[in-house]
Chains A and B, each alone.
Chain A
């Protein structure tokens, strides 16, 4: 869909995009807000806010339970959102779309429900050095419970996956490859199609953490061929508290439920229960209905802009920012892979990232300063933390200039 738009026929009007994000017009510390923290969470456009409000105002009731009209309307809207997500990911069936709380919960679901029953002592789970804690800790927990081992594929100096090392680590004990699509700390885009293909060749299951990818590029889970794909709504211009686990139907069918409660059962007696069909087997309790409605609206919004056009826009900002920051004396850029998303991690000599964060904030520039939930990666880089600027569909060249001026200001304060 939107082939003409995606081909870049219409110029990208960032002012018009920004006009749809009410929060972007506020000021911070008396200065215009330059929101450069979209990798942590994106802002919400008017259509998402409106869709949620419309749902809450006119359609809300509990889903999958009532014969009354509102319950039916809410259920229809909720299930339409699931279908919207299916289309966004090009999944084969909406039975493969599980609504969860976020990417973190999606990965935990797989670690619990697939990992614990499947893994045996000596089995290996292969991740990369780039992973977010959300794609490390659930596997450590599964390993502790099963005697399996976590193996980490190294990265190169510029922050790319060392692909040959990755291939060499795949072996007959490897049961799962769990890797990020895009690194949240460095912005590196991983060659997930090749990663998955190499694993599948050996009959190894695959999970891709798409938290940082879905807002920046088209994802086709069937073309990718992965078994699981996880992401969060709030990094895709949608509401917080909602995420998606895509799972290949055959995998999900074979997995036991992970939480028990309402909605996930077919029959319950005090002796035993039987499970509902997919996807409900994995959705115990009342879901985040308005979140799903908002996410569907966010997907409409993103596709109306065109993912390729958003990516091209973000790329030009990344190039501009990389150029401007690298000219500042004392700057080190972390992560310089040729294929990157709109994320720029940096440190400034003599200025700790937290001081940088405070000074930038004072200048109205919101960035993330810290370990980015990737402490092992920070250890590899030999820094306790970095400052990270990240871009979204609404980011502007002026904001990059504001960032650059603010970094200069930090140098002056610490001169």
Chain B
């Protein structure tokens, strides 16, 4: 277990220069993620068009792993439809938690494979993905027919 496996060039770069940083306004969906253990906080905003992620931004405050992971996530999901995003989520999740998970088709996200050697940091890398899912769920809830009336 070497530090360079965790802090790869691409991760350090995304930490220093996060892509898609900020907040979409107006947005179709918003969610806040918080990791109470370390205080990492981030907000993901989305614009959706025909079941696809037309645009995405994130902002927040966290360690290098959480910032870089969020930054790379926004690049990876922009333009993708929901099914592909779900697939990507599963692959990233496997990459972060399973010893022999493949990193094929993950592009830059493969740089996160070192995180699994540092179990205390897995949640830092997955926070943005859980926040993304929460944002998508709020979008679904908003567009679903109201199930209850006051």
Contact surface of A with B, Cβ cutoff 8 Å: 29, 351-355, 358-359, 362, 369-371, 375, 378, 384-385, 413-414
Contact = CB atoms under 8 A, between A and B. Distances in A.
Nearest to B38: A354
B61 A384 contact: yes
A355 B63 contact: yes
A362 B61 CA distance: 23
Contacts of B144: none
Most chain A Cβ neighbours within 10 Å, of B37, B64, B120 = B64
Interface range, B side: 10 to 19
A358 B38 contact: no
A355 B38 contact: no
B10 to A, nearest CB: 14
Nearest to B67: A352
A259 B50 CA distance: 58
Contact of B64 (A352, A370, A371): A352
A63 B3 CA distance: 51
B6 A370 contact: no
Contact of B39 (A29, A359, A378): A378
Interface of B: 1, 3, 6-7, 12, 37-41, 61-65, 118, 120-121, 124
A413 B38 CA distance: 21
B12 A414 contact: yes
B61 A354 contact: no
A414 B12 CA distance: 7
A370 B62 CA distance: 11
B7 A413 contact: yes
A384 B65 contact: no
Contacts of B124: 354
Contacts of A353: 38, 63
24 contacts: A352-B62, A352-B64, A354-B40, A354-B65, A354-B124, A355-B63, A355-B64, A355-B65, A358-B121, A359-B3, A362-B3, A369-B38, A370-B37, A375-B39, A378-B39, A384-B38, A384-B41, A384-B61, A385-B38, A385-B39, A413-B3, A413-B7, A413-B12, A414-B64
A354 B123 CA distance: 12
B64 to A, nearest CB: 5
Given A352-B62, A384-B61, A358 B39 contact: no
A162 B3 CA distance: 43
A351 B64 CA distance: 8
A149 to B, nearest CB: 26
B7 to A, nearest CB: 5
Given A378-B39, A413-B7, A414-B12, A29 B61 contact: no
Given A354-B121, A358-B120, A371 B65 contact: no
Contacts of B120: 358
Contact of A352 (B1, B6, B63): B63
A196 to B, nearest CB: 33
